[in-house]
Structure 1
Amino acid sequence: MKLCILIPFYNHPGAIAQVVDSLKPFGLPIRIVDDGSDEPSQRALADIAAREPSVSIQRLAINQGKGGAVMVGCDAALAEGFTHALQIDADGQHQPGDVPRLIEAARRQPAAMISGQAVYDESVPRSRLYGRYITHFWVWVNTLSFEIKDSMCGLRVYPLASTCQVWRRNRLGRRMDFDTEIMVRLSWTGVAIVSLPTRVTYPVDGVSHFQMLRDNLFISAMHTRLFFGMLLRLPILLGRRVVQRLHKVAA
């Protein structure tokens, strides 16, 4: 297992240095994919790269969205020989103390995708929280399973070979719809999804790039696309559930 940390980044100059500092104790290479950020953000990244030899910056000239940045970063990491990438958001909402548990789970089950299952405090916006409940429902419908506990948490470990294969075979959403779609499609291919509770805090002065109208439209289109994809795969998914149930009974 060869693991790197992957941070999709877009205009978070005030938070990224603290995020990188919090990850240094794990001794892992840190890859930051700069998704077409502005000049102050580019300067912040340049300062980090100049003083931190473990940090590499991959810059995209045009903003592609979080999903686009993650796909570019994962493809590059796989090409460099990494087997797994731990994705963490650049805004500081995830707790670095939870990272070792995800890494250990990935070592125990290297073929699985390990995902954080968000545990929120009072800082979470109510609109974001209710929107997640709607997504949870459609994910359970589209996978015919409760295996995926949280498809929107940005703290996760990807098994790179199977993950990169998904977008080579399918056209995926490239913005806020990506996190959910890649998890559902990995589940469809038979990749196990392992969820671990992780604390999530929304900083008071944090910057959110979630655009209510645009991103909700993308997410709605994604759920519709996945629903019809589920119908096409219905016999396979039902058969897999029957086999899993029989295994549990036999055990």
Structure 2
Amino acid sequence: MFNPCVVIPVYNHEHAIDAVTQAVRASGVHCILIDDGSSVACAQVLNRIAAQSPSEVTLVCHTINRGKGDAVITGMRKAADMGFSHALQIDADGQHCIADVPRFLEQARNQQDALIVGYPQYDESVPALRLYARYLTHVWVWINTLSLQIKDSMCGFRVYPLKPVLALAKRQRIGARMDFDTEVLVRLFWEGIRVVNLGTRVGYPADGVSHFRLWRDNVLISRMHATLFFGMLIRAPRLLARKWGKA
């Protein structure tokens, strides 16, 4: 049975999360908010949101900041415990087009074994450097999957079937921070989970807060790509056989 919820990892987005949560709730989907060790000010906002709508919002708290990836996995585990089958992941800063939530969920309903993965559609205002930097990861993902099937592995707007993700997380340590979105997607692709790409508008954060740490996260992402590359070499015969089998 298809029973989705929305999982939103939150770290110090007190100026945006109320509006994001209200917009998501308008779609009639239960929200699971994960406070990833936020400041007192953000924690107060999250507690208020959860207290005002206990039947529509569940709040789970990390006592310290553990990273986006760990927060998402925590939210997914809670979702599974609550009986949900799928989790739509969306960022807390307002950069994603929440009006697309019903469209993503409809795709997931029609293709329940697939990953529904957003790929950003930027307007002309996006800085060129931002686009070029993303293409470095795109190229590595294409190498590490021996496929062009994943259009964008960095967009945090996607719908996961919970069972395969949680099974993967149980046996494989996945990146806990900004490396999570790409790594989990590549590893699920290796396991044969089908990826459905869905374009969606992406803007700049409503509260102007970015938690990307230039040196730390670039080191984590570079290490992730290297690890995945060697993992791909081991799996290359099977990945190529699967690719040729579909040709």
TM-score of Structure 1 vs Structure 2, range by shorter chain: over 0.9
Deviates more, 1:120-129 or 1:28-37: 120-129
Amino acid at match of 1:233: R
Q: By how many angstroms is 1:122 displaced?
A: 4.2
Deviations 1:125-182 (A, max 9, x none): 4433222110000000000111101101111000000111111121111000000000
What SS class does the counterpart of residue 9 from structure 2 fall into? strand
TM normalised by structure 2 equals 0.96
User: RMSD value over aligned CA atoms?
Assistant: 1.1
Deviates more, 1:168-177 or 1:31-40: 168-177
Task: List aligned pairs for 1:138-157, cutoff 5 A.
Answer: 138-157=140-159
The 1:80/1:205 distance shift into structure 2, 3 A limit, reads closer
Task: List aligned pairs for 1:185-224, cutoff 5 A.
Answer: 185-203=187-205, 205-224=207-226
Task: List aligned pairs for 1:1-251, cutoff 5 A.
Answer: 1-53=2-54, 54-203=56-205, 205-245=207-247
What SS class does the counterpart of residue 233 from structure 1 fall into? helix
Distance in 2 of aligned mates of 1:152 and 1:85: 17
Aligned length: 245
**4+ runs of 1 displaced by more than 2 Å?**
121-129
What SS class does the counterpart of residue 158 from structure 1 fall into? strand
Distance in 2 of aligned mates of 1:78 and 1:24: 19
Q: Give yes or no for contact 2:120–2:152 (8 Å, CA) kept in 1.
A: yes
Amino acid at match of 2:111: Q
Distance in 2 of aligned mates of 1:33 and 1:195: 26
TM normalised by structure 1 equals 0.95
Q: By how many angstroms is 1:204 displaced?
A: 6.6
Amino acid at match of 1:40: A
The 1:123/1:93 distance shift into structure 2, 3 A limit, reads farther
Q: Give yes or no for contact 2:95–2:206 (8 Å, CA) kept in 1.
A: no
Q: Give yes or no for contact 1:123–1:204 (8 Å, CA) kept in 2.
A: no
Q: What residue ranges of structure 1 are gaps of 5+ in the alignment?
A: 246-251
